[in-house]
Amino acid sequence: MALPTYEAARTEMSMFDALLKARADHGKDKEILWDANDDRKLTYNEIVRGAFALGHALTRSTARGETVAIMLPTGAAAVIAFFALHAFGRVPAMLNFTAGERALVAALKLGNIKTVLTAKRFIEIGKLEELVGELGQHANMVLLDELREKLTLGDKMTALFGSYLPGLFKARKKASDTGVILFTSGTEGDPKGVVLSNQNILANVEQVRCHIELFDTDIVFNPLPTFHCFGLTVGALLPMLIGVKEILYPSPLHVSIIPKKIKDSGATILLATDTFIGHYARQGDQGDLNSVRLAVCGAERVRDETRQLVRKKYNIEILEGYGVTEAAPVVAANQIEANVPGTVGKLMPMMESRLEPVEGIPNAGRLFVKGPNVMAGYLKPDQPGVVQPLKDGWHDTGDVVNIDKHGHIAIKGRLKRFAKIGGEMVSLTVVENCATALWPDNMHAAVAIPDARKGEQIVLVTDSKEANRADLHSWAHNHGVPELAVPRKIMHVDEVPLLGTGKTNYVAVQKIVDADIEPKAA
């Protein structure tokens, strides 16, 4: 079966119009969303009605064109809130509730956000009362479960008639208008606001549709957070907009529950990261993931050990991809018929790339990308609420890559994730990979610190009690890894800090290392 061709016309509309088109194409009564947390199953019509009811209720406390934040776990409520804001001309901004008070307050200021949508039940389960109290000093906290109980007759009539005659009620929005504001994870510093237009998001949906074979019978299981672009675009929006049933689960951290949910639902496609799918594979019983034909992984490198584990235990092939929030997010992905381990596959349709040489790193370059999915621009602290566009549409990913003659992209590491030791550039990712090869069931993070003699030195932070420098040195020697990639110091911790997306929190790791060194320096 040939993959579909890219249709630009499918990207030239608003997000809400795209939802209405999907409803028309696939049937208003098609069950499209299953919230695996509370077992709600929703049709297209129920989602449209819910969006009109909630959106109309929110018009009493928000203004057209206003940016309104959503702070909810992955589930039906987050999706309905997203489309509710679009239905009445508001702009959704997704908040990472795991980021901490400082980052969230910074996000509110970046987006000039005065209203945050959340839920009382979510706050209680997540024990977020203190955080919500702090955010309440900067924005109006609207509890959706309470708002739902106070829907007026007007809200309900708008939902009823709007589902039949949407054109009379919905806001007029263009493809070029802002579709969502996301915030970078802040793995290496303060977050920035990423402004994606409706067209950016829909272009990425179309690119993935044309790149990876999906069937009407597929069921996508998505436990990834909707404040992360992978979880939002690929996990929540793409399936709904192309007519593929989606199952949304509120947290990827429930590693013993998720395999059972997958088995019970018969999900055929699993979205995950290397860290999470490794946990699911180990925690699940034989047969729990047998319905899965495909696992699509992003956000971090897929380790050989993970690939072998899921193949051996469940006969699942992993398609590794690569994305950045600024590209809505998918930049490249492997394909079933061209799956090349060690690479993140080929560039998405309609995208361009260029490499700029990096001193000290041969056969690779700094990756710049351009395409219809690349963002409108950044929000930065110096001009809150003002979109600062990219120069000529090119985005600097900050990643160092190699592209082979067939177009497959191999990620060598972030430019900031290299240490300069004695004039040589050493990839901190390689250091982590060496540790992973020896202690595959543990988490490892490498950072660089100043060194008076050689410029920088490498410190490995690990939750493996067995990790030691002698074994690393021997492994590196036997596998042709330069001795410079053997860390000067190993720090043992109970837990390597992670972000809510499953990525290593390098800011927190660096603080652990700095705190250990500073007292000794003093």
> How far apart, in Å, are the Cα atoms of 351 and each of 231, 259, 393?
21, 35, 11
Give the burial class of 253: count Cβ atoms within 10 A of its Cβ; 0-12 exposed, 13-18 middle, 19 or more buried: middle
Quote the CA–CA distance of 456 and 447 in Å, as a whole number: 10
Supply φ then ψ for residue 340, to 5 degrees.
-115, 100
DSSP state of 182: E
Q: Give me 252's structure tokens.
A: 């990827």
Residue 341, number of CB atoms within 10 A of its CB = 12
The beta strand positions in 192-233, using DSSP E, are: 193-197, 219-222
Q: Contact, 121 vs 145, CB < 8 A?
A: yes
Q: Give me 322's structure tokens.
A: 């690569």
Q: Give me 128's structure tokens.
A: 């977020």
In this structure, are strands 424-427 and 444-451 parallel, antiparallel, or unpaired? unpaired
pLDDT of residue 516: 81
Q: Contact, 78 vs 116, CB < 8 A?
A: no
| Residue owning tokens 């429930």 | 254
Residue 172, number of CB atoms within 10 A of its CB = 9
- Our measurement of the distance from residue 452's CA atom to the centroid of its chain's CA atoms, rounded to an integer in Å, reads 38
End-to-end Cα, the chain, rounded Å: 66
In this structure, are strands 409-414 and 245-248 parallel, antiparallel, or unpaired? unpaired
Residue 155, number of CB atoms within 10 A of its CB = 21
Return per-residue pLDDT of the chain as tens, 522 residues: 678 899 999 999 999 999 999 999 999 999 999 999 888 999 999 999 999 999 999 999 999 999 999 999 999 999 999 999 999 999 999 999 988 888 899 999 999 999 999 999 999 999 999 999 999 999 999 999 999 999 999 999 999 999 999 999 999 999 999 999 999 865 445 678 999 999 999 999 999 999 999 999 999 999 999 999 999 999 999 999 999 999 999 999 899 999 999 999 999 999 998 888 988 988 888 889 999 999 998 888 888 888 888 888 898 889 999 999 999 999 999 998 889 988 999 999 999 999 999 877 888 899 999 999 999 999 988 888 899 999 899 999 989 999 999 999 999 877 777 777 766 777 788 888 889 888 988 889 888 888 878 778 889 999 999 999 888 888 888 888 878 778 888 999 999 987 766 678 887 888 888 888 765 544
Supply φ then ψ for residue 490, to 5 degrees.
-120, 130
Give the burial class of 214: count Cβ atoms within 10 A of its Cβ; 0-12 exposed, 13-18 middle, 19 or more buried: buried
Walk me through the domains of the chain, giving residue ranges and CATH numbers: 422-521 (3.30.300.30)
| Residue owning tokens 């209720």 | 57
Nearest partner of 103 among 53, 138, 57, 63, judged by Cα: 138
Give the burial class of 124: count Cβ atoms within 10 A of its Cβ; 0-12 exposed, 13-18 middle, 19 or more buried: exposed
pLDDT of residue 501: 62
The continuous run of DSSP H or E covering 211 comes out as none
Q: Give me 114's structure tokens.
A: 């005065």
| Residue owning tokens 């795991």 | 98
pLDDT of residue 414: 76
Nearest partner of 104 among 178, 183, 179, judged by Cα: 183
What interhelical angle do 153-164 and 44-58 show, nearest 10? 140
pLDDT of residue 492: 93
User: To 10 degrees, the CA torsion angle through 292, 286, 258, 343?
Assistant: -50
93-117 burial, b at 16+ Cβ within 10 Å, e below that, comes to: bbbbbbbeeebbbbbbebbebbbbb
DSSP letters, 376-401, are SEEE-TTSTT--BPPGGG-EEEEEEE
The beta strand positions in 190-254, using DSSP E, are: 193-197, 219-222, 245-248
Q: What is the pTM of this model?
A: 0.86
pLDDT of residue 410: 93
DSSP state of 451: E
pLDDT of residue 190: 65
